[in-house]
Chain A
Amino acid sequence: MASDTGWLRTSAEGDALTLQAGGSWTVECAAALDALVSGLRADGARRARFELSEVTALDSAGAWVLRRTAKSFEAEGLAIEFAGVAPPFEPLLRIVEEADRQPHEPLRVRFNPFFRLCDRVGYVLIDMVQETRLLVGFFGVTVVSLGAVLIRPRRLRFVSLVNQIEQTGLNAVPIVFLLNFLIGMVMAYLGVFQLRKFGAEIFTIDGLAFGIPREMAVLLTAIIVAGRSGSAFTAQIGTMQVNEEVDAIRTSGLDPVEVLVLPRINALLITLPMLTFLADVAGILGGALMTMGSLDLTFGQFMRRFEDVMTLSNFIVGMVKAPVFAYIIAIVGCFEGLRVSGSAESVGRMTTRSVVESITLVILAEAMFAIVFTVLGI
């Protein structure tokens, strides 16, 4: 049907220009038609007549090319006339003309790149300040709500709490164990091969006993949990927000913080220390296997050295951090989830944001702990 490409013949008679169009004027050959009409000049003509009797197919793209050509002639002061328009094409030409008569605005807005940069930097800064303010506010809200539940423990949502413990704790056991086991092995490997230069390979065990329970295990576990559970909190609450479930909770006279946020905070407060303990064990086990293998030690020999250097305070320093990290991950996850608005797209955006933010805050907190413990000399 649309095999015959559109064509255009022009002929001039005195001051009258005749444009004879034919074939199919459709979007498939719009590029060719566009090139065809771009070469047209009025050449002193006073009238232009579009003869369309041989047009076999016309769509809005073809109609637009005709209309635009007519318009440019009109701007040059020519009188325009359309002739031989087949009845089925009339409404199309009319609708294109009407649409064209409406005011046009640029389709793209361009900015100076420098202003754009300034705009973005400023926007990000203001956003960060506001975010921090709101997050601190949310922290306060959760503390108050937690206090209220502690006074009246019946408002503790037990089923929801157990469910969250299963999801954030039990289901995370394999991955936390595996990753910490592997990191323990890597640490031992690095220690053995670096310390061998000084003939001090045995101090690898000191490194493990000091590094894993104190820093590595808890930090790694917190990062895994932030990626696993923090993102899940945001996605779950965000989806509820999109479905207006959170509004339904509010209108039912319930407090979303108490119903949605507290069980998640409490669950992480319970599970993250437990996972950290598991991570301690896994990391040391991985380290032990690696050291035993490369230094030809028996497990007994490893443990004797380990007992000499491992202290209770090392373990406690690691464990103290766990609930703090848990609180950070839980409130950031829930906070970003509650900030989801409108579309499903915003759930994705907020989830990314929540993971980045909680990992950043966890590492910041880790650094603060390091400073405090160093000053206290623990």
Chain B
Amino acid sequence: MAEDVVIRVEGLKTQFGRQVVHEGLDLEVERGEVIGVVGGSGTGKSVLLRTIIGLNRPAAGHIDVLGVDPHSGDPAAERAFKVRCGVLFQGGALFSSLTVTENIQVPMREHLDLPQELMDELAALKIAIVGLPPDAGPKYPAQLSGGMKKRAGLARALSVDPEILFLDEPTAGLDPIGAAAFDDLIRGLQQSLSLTVFMVTHDLDSLAAICDRIAVLVEKKVRVGTMADHMRDSHPWIREYFHGPRARAAIDKDTHSAMV
């Protein structure tokens, strides 16, 4: 299983104008793991995610997701690739003119040919799986709270059972209880649906609670390792990040809950 790499990034370089965001960045993500991406503001965490899913064209380097290059320009391959990846954007990015149910059905309608009744049942199932109340289905995104929007966005991302789930700051803007519940949800779904999760986050609690490995963006590259590896890293930013009071609290909480 260790050889089963689902995301492979080699020598990635991204730049906007003259500003180089990543240079010579290598990253491998294995099937079934939860990887968290952290880094200071402006180090290009979201840019990395957007580049991997094909929204942002790299200046150099090679990306391979599930055996497909998202920038290959082959429409059939890109289409097949998009069915196998689910993305949750920061604010949920629900289509505001559609109800939650219709939002969840968009990928099904686009990529598959399913009878309406089955799509309705599957949408109801996804709504229940992500922990939304059953009456959320006919609601419009404007009628939902921030946390519910994220759950609805997650339901849409899971709509056609992707193999990889990309999450951009899934817990940002949620209260600590909501964030912890969201972490549990993602961990639970990851295990039961055997997903690979690629998560950009700032939330130390989520890092400690659900990530198998952590990729830290420093000096235009990533350093990948477990929490314990990063604790030993001597890079000043990484030291400060993982030894700050917030990190301590998050790690203590996690080890404590693991012991209980």
Query: Does A associate with B in a complex?
Result: yes
Using CB atoms and an 8 Å cutoff, list the residues of chain A in contact with chain B. Answer: 26-28, 30-31, 34, 59-61, 64-65, 68, 88, 91-92, 94-96, 98-100, 102-109, 342-343, 345
The 8 closest A-B pairs by CB, nearest first: A99-B128, A91-B192, A59-B161, A107-B137, A105-B134, A95-B192, A107-B101, A99-B129
- Are A95 and B115 in contact (CB-based, < 8 A)? no
Contact of B161 among A26, A68, A104, A105 (CB under 8 A): A26
Contact status A27-B160, CB under 8 Å:
yes
Is B118 in the interface zone, CB < 8 Å from A?
yes
Residue-wise, chain B 73-115 has the 8 Å CB interface mask toward A (1 for contact) of 0000000000000000000000010010100000010001111
Contact B193 A60 (CB under 8 A): yes
| Interface 9-residue window, one of B10-18, B119-127, B197-205, B241-249 | B119-127
Whether the pair A99, B125 counts as a contact (CB closer than 8 A) is yes
CA gap between A342 and B149 in the complex, in Å:
14
The A/B interface has a contact count, at CB < 8 Å, of: 85
**17 pairs, A vs B, C-beta closer than 8 Å:** A26-B161, A27-B108, A31-B112, A31-B118, A34-B115, A60-B122, A60-B126, A60-B193, A64-B122, A91-B192, A96-B129, A104-B124, A105-B137, A106-B137, A108-B137, A342-B142, A345-B96
CB proximity of A75 to chain B, nearest CB, Å: 15
Residues of A within 8 A of B122 (CB): 27, 30, 60-61, 64
Q: Beyond A92-B194, A95-B129, A107-B120: 12 further Cβ-contacts under 8 Å? A: A27-B112, A27-B160, A28-B112, A31-B113, A31-B115, A95-B188, A95-B192, A96-B129, A99-B129, A100-B125, A105-B134, A107-B137
Contact of B175 with A by CB under 8 A: no
B3, CB-defined interface residue at 8 Å: no
A98–B128 CA distance with the chains assembled, in angstroms: 9
B112 x A108 contact (CB < 8 A):
no
CA distance A65 to B114 in the complex (A): 12
With both beta carbons as reference points, the residue of chain A lying nearest to B83 in the complex is identified as A28
Q: Chain B residues with Cβ under 8 A from A342's Cβ?
A: 142
Q: How far is the CB of B143 from chain A (nearest CB, A)?
A: 11
Tell me how far the C-beta of B36 lies from the nearest C-beta in chain A, rounded to whole angstroms: 22
* Residue of B114, B125, B137 touching A60 (CB-CB under 8 A): B125
**Bound Cα distance A289, B158 (Å):** 66
B191 at the interface (CB under 8 A from A): yes
Q: Closest chain B residue to A94 by CB distance?
A: B192
Please give the distance in Å from A64's CB to the nearest CB on chain B. 5
134-155 of chain B: CB within 8 A of chain A = 134-135, 137-138, 142
**CB atoms of B114 and A30 under 8 A apart:** yes
A108 partner residues in chain B, CB cutoff 8 A: 99, 101, 137-138
Residues of chain A lying within 8 A (CB to CB) of residue B121: 64, 68
Q: How far is the CB of B115 from chain A (nearest CB, A)?
A: 6
Closest to A2 in B: B84
Most buried by A among B96, B161, B191, B193: B161
Q: Which of A26, A61, A92, A106 contacts B138 (CB 8 A)?
A: A106
Report the nearest A residue to B158, measured CB to CB. Answer: A60
Question: Is B128's CB under 8 angstroms from A100's CB?
Answer: yes
Distance from B1 Cβ to chain A, minimum over Cβ atoms (Å)? 12
| Residue pair A60, B129 in contact (C-beta under 8 Å) | yes
Instruction: State in angstroms the CA–CA spacing of A260 and B87 once bound together.
Output: 40
Q: How far is the CB of A29 from chain B (nearest CB, A)?
A: 9
Quick one: which of B123, B129, B158 has the most chain A CB within 10 A? B129
CB-based contact B123/A27 at 8 Å: no
Question: Is A34 within 8 A of B123, CB to CB?
Answer: no
* 1/0 contact string of B154-174 vs chain A (CB within 8 Å): 000010110000000000000
- B191 & A91 in contact (Cβ 8 Å cutoff): yes
B-side contacts of A104, CB under 8 Å? 124, 128, 134
Highest count of chain B CB atoms <10 Å: which of A91, A98, A104, A107? A107
In the complex, the chain B residue whose C-beta lies closest to that of A344 is B96
Write out the residue numbers on chain B whose beta carbons fall within 8 Å of the beta carbon of A60.
122, 125-126, 129, 158, 161, 193
In this complex, what residue of A is CB-closest to B128? A99
Residues of chain B with a CB closer than 8 A to A345's CB: 96, 142
Assess the A107–B112 pair: CB atoms within 8 A: no
Contact between B161 and A61 (Cβ–Cβ < 8 Å)?
Answer: yes
Which of B120, B125, B129, B134 lies at the interface centre, i.e. has the most chain A CB atoms within 10 A of its CB?
B125
Residue of B nearest to A57 (CB): B161
Nearest B residue (CB) for A91: B192
Contacts of B158 in A (CB 8 A): 60
Measured in the bound complex, the distance between the Cα atoms of B192 and A92 in whole Å is 5
User: Complex formed: what's the CA distance from A94 to B108 in Å?
Assistant: 23
